[in-house]
């Protein structure tokens, strides 16, 4: 008799800034279950409803071994597809099924993918500051912990713009000045290189906050600073401009955290217009499509750099690392520096030692959840402020 899905449980917890959605797939085999990440913090209620009202009834009673079939059918069962809410809901099931398959095989998930090609995954950390001097001080502190890759930002996305002149009666919003941001960031990069030299690896995230032509110029201006990569220099709606950037400079480019649909990433990879693909794995539908994208990107010399901020759950981070251990075209892994509470709620969460991220090599994903402790940190409703971005004159802008 096949082992089947007996129940699906959606666990929402918020031990930090982000509302995390964990899917627990309970099987007909006593004591056997799997965990998956469905975290979409900005719309967590919608994902919860999608799982409970649509995905759960669809998967109940199905054979847990048929991961590919279940993913393919779930993606088209609602007919319209490739949106962030349903992709995350499907991802929760998909990742949990891989966890179950690994437990049944007595192997870590990376073994099911083809086995390790490395022992640890290099990580980068966010290193922000209110001034170039503060950013340098923060880098030096992280260097003491063995970190060698640093995403540097002055302030937060769009920089620091207290001196901005706004129109009368300007509405509330997260204002930023693109021209000031570009100048300040270039000065930041120059200061870091002057203080710390060329040995450290620097990354920077534009977060889609430039017009296409300014993005071309900014990528060119970053070239002398030898970035490891420049991230999200364009919004998904303007990816055709990557051709212009590629023709004019050699700054390595990373893109993908907002992608939902294969038509968004396939041309950029096939045309070799980016160097790193960095989707949010639950946003694209789970481990199954991420595995396929990594293999596809490898054929074109594009490396992986999966999205890994605090609004990826510890389960999602663990899935990232299994892919990192296996993929021959692994590039770098974003790491959010979890707190002790994260390790208490999610026993088995991977650990960083001397700049490398390591799994525990337990069967499946190797991570669990303390549901009783997670329940002590219920999710909080909020209206997201930082995505209410505006230009100096108040025009709504990409966040």
Residues serving a catalytic function are 157, 207
How do the residues of the chain divide into helix, strand and coil, expressed in percent and rounded to 5?
40, 20, 40
Q: Which two tokens stand for residue 236?
A: 């998904």
Distance (Å, whole) CA 343 – CA 313 = 12
Q: Which two tokens stand for residue 105?
A: 């095989």
Q: CB of 23 within 8 A of CB of 58? A: no
Place of tokens 């999710």: 379
d(CA 233, CA 240): 12
394-399 long-range contacts (CB < 8 A, ≥24 apart) are 394/166, 394/167, 394/170, 394/171, 394/173, 394/175, 396/173, 397/176, 397/209, 398/207, 398/208, 398/209, 398/235, 399/157, 399/174, 399/207, 399/208, 399/209
The helix or strand, by DSSP H or E, that contains position 25, with its residue range, turns out to be strand 20-27
Nearest to 332 by CA among 240, 136, 163, 201: 201
Task: Quote the CA–CA distance of 292 and 71 in Å, as a whole number.
Answer: 13
Could you tell me which of 52, 50, 38 has the C-alpha nearest to residue 9? 52
**Residue ranges with strand state E in 174-281:** 174-175, 201-205, 229-231, 253-255, 276-277
CA-wise closest residue to 366 among 352, 353, 351: 351
**Cα(133)–Cα(136) distance, integer angstroms:** 5
């Amino acid at each position: 008799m096949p082992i089947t899905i007996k129940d699906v449980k959606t666990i929402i917890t918020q031990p930090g800034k982000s509302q995390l959605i964990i899917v627990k797939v309970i099987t007909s085999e006593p004591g056997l279950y799997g965990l998956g990440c469905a975290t979409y913090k900005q719309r967590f209620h919608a994902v919860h409803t999608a799982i409970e009202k649509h995905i759960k009834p669809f998967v109940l009673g199905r054979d847990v071994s048929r991961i590919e079939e279940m993913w393919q059918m779930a993606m088209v069962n609602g007919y319209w597809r490739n949106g962030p809410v349903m992709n995350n809901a499907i991802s929760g099931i998909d990742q949990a099924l891989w966890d179950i398959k690994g437990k049944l095989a007595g192997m870590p998930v990376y073994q099911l993918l083809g086995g390790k090609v490395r022992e640890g995954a290099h990580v980068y950390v966010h290193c922000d500051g209110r001034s170039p001097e503060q950013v340098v001080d923060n880098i030096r502190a992280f260097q003491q912990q063995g970190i060698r890759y640093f995403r540097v930002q002055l302030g937060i996305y769009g920089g620091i713009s207290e001196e901005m002149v706004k129109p009368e009666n300007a509405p509330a919003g997260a204002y930023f000045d693109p021209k000031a941001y570009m100048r300040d960031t270039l000065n930041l990069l120059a200061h870091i290189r002057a203080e710390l030299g060329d040995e450290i690896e620097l990354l920077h995230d534009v977060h889609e906050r430039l017009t296409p032509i300014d993005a071309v110029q900014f990528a060119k201006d970053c070239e002398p600073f030898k970035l490891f990569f420049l991230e999200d220099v364009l919004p998904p709606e303007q990816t055709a401009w990557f051709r212009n950037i590629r023709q004019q400079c050699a700054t390595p480019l990373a893109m993908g955290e907002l992608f939902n649909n294969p038509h968004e990433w396939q041309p950029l990879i096939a045309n070799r217009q980016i160097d790193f693909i960095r989707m949010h794995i639950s946003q694209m539908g789970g481990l199954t499509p991420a595995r396929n994208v990594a293999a596809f990107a490898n054929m074109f010399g594009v490396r992986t750099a999966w999205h890994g901020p605090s609004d990826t759950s510890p389960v999602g981070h663990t899935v990232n690392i299994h892919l990192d251990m296996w993929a021959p075209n692994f590039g770098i892994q974003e790491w959010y520096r979890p707190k002790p509470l994260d390790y208490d709620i999610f026993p088995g969460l991977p650990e960083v030692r001397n700049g490398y991220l390591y799994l525990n090599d337990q069967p499946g994903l190797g991570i669990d959840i303390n549901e009783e402790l997670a329940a002590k940190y219920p999710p909080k409703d909020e209206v997201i402020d930082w995505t209410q971005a505006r230009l100096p004159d108040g025009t709504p802008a990409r966040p």
